[in-house]
Structure 1
Amino acid sequence: MAVGQRVINLFRRKLNKVDRELVESYLDEAGLFLFNQMSFSDQKHAVTVARYLLSEKVDTQGANLRPLIKGALLHDVGKVKGEIAWWNRILVGLIRRFFPRLRTKWGKRGEGGLNHALYVDLHHPSRGAYMAESLGIDPTVVSLIKHHHDEPNERTNLELALLQNADAKN
């Protein structure tokens, strides 16, 4: 997804009917609860990642599709709506892209501010996995959430590799 579209999504408020139907067709009550904790821009990104995985552009043969799509819809659930101001989200995106080492140096747990936004950006996979596990989400989906920013290696399974690729492209 283009940076400009992500900025526009920061100011939109809700998913359209078609996107909502996709989400509701894959997520149970606990999954919907988690999904609804995300900001619109994170929800829209998650739906875009899921749609990309469901498109003809991606060869998902051999993949366990249902947990993969659930993982796509919930992979950023560790970024909770309202926790980070929109301007800090933009700064985090720029820092992640152009100065990635600063995330680790400046990312500090706290309340609000750029340091906390960087902390959330760094730790949202483990935070999201903890939230999902606490609500009884399928362990396969929890693992996808937890590891979606890990460096790929020989132990990376097909579903995780597909999710990582789709997330990076969208």
Structure 2
Amino acid sequence: MQSVLYRLGQARQQLGFVKPLSAAEYEEAALYLPPSALVLFRTMAPADQRHCLRVCQRLRERGCQDREMLAAALLHDVGKAQGRVPFWTRPAIVLGKKFTPALLTALAISPYEFGERIIPRWQRALSYAWWHAEIGANLASAAGLSQQAALYIRTHHEAHGPAAALHAVDEVS
């Protein structure tokens, strides 16, 4: 039941029922991001910015002092930004992972393989959602984050990977 309530809360936020970050909250994000990466942070929807800041704050509350991990927390979902991942894809990914993982894996093409192929809009969006960690890691690296921070972003869905602490907080934030 708590998982259902959590997902409903996420849906509410994604539908626009979330306050944009305050100047003080942007200043907090700026403590861990270089200016070029802060520009990237601002490309995310307000709900995603608030989620990423919350993940960063919760990591700090748990004692995390790794600046690379905290920077990665702020940008771990940036691969979803700029309209790449519309709202409807988020529940599709959650449900697909739970009930039809093989089908989801087959449908999600790496955006780096799109090339000149004509990909239906729904499949393109689903693919970006599925591959957002890889896309986000590349964007963060290009914006000046370290390779370690990019690795944390790339692996933030791995429960036992390099970003296991980020994963654990992300799952409940």
TM-score for the superposition, normalised by structure 1: 0.79
Residue type at the aligned position of 2:9? Q
Out of 46, 71, 91, the residue aligned to residue 40 of structure 1 is: 46
Question: Displacement of 1:71 after TM fit?
Answer: 0.8
Contact 1:103 1:119 in 2 (8 A): no
Any conservation in 1 of the 2:89–2:129 contact (CA below 8 Å)? no
Given the superposition, is the C-alpha separation of residues 137 and 59 from structure 1 closer, same or farther in structure 2, using an over 3 Å criterion?
Answer: closer
Q: Is the 8 A contact 2:85 2:129 kept in 1?
A: no
Q: Distance in 2 between matches of 1:59 and 1:32?
A: 23
**Does structure 1 residue 71 correspond to structure 2 residue 72?**
yes
Alignment pair present for 1:3 and 2:22: no
1:33-87, Cα deviation, whole Å (9 max, x unpaired): 21122222322221121121122xx243xxx422211110011111123123222
Kindly provide the amino acid, as one letter, of the partner of residue 27 in structure 1. Answer: L
Paired residue type of 2:146: D
CA contact (8 A) 1:50 1:72 kept: yes
Say what the alpha-carbon RMSD is for the aligned residues: 2.3
How many residues are treated as equivalent by the alignment? 159
The unaligned stretches of length 5 or more in structure 2 are: 112-118
Q: Is the 8 A contact 1:76 1:124 kept in 2?
A: yes
Q: Which runs of 5+ in 1 are unaligned?
A: none
Q: How far apart are 1:3 and its partner, in Å? A: 0.8
**One-letter amino acid matched to 1:107:** A
> Matches of 1:42 and 1:100 in 2, distance apart?
24
Identity of aligned residues (%): 27
In the TM superposition, 1:1-170 aligns within 5 A as 2-12=6-16, 15-17=20-22, 18-55=24-61, 58-60=62-64, 64-108=65-109, 109=111, 110=119, 112-113=121-122, 115-150=123-158, 152=160, 156-157=161-162, 160-170=163-173
Residues 78 and 132 in structure 2, CA contact (< 8 A), matched pair in contact too: yes
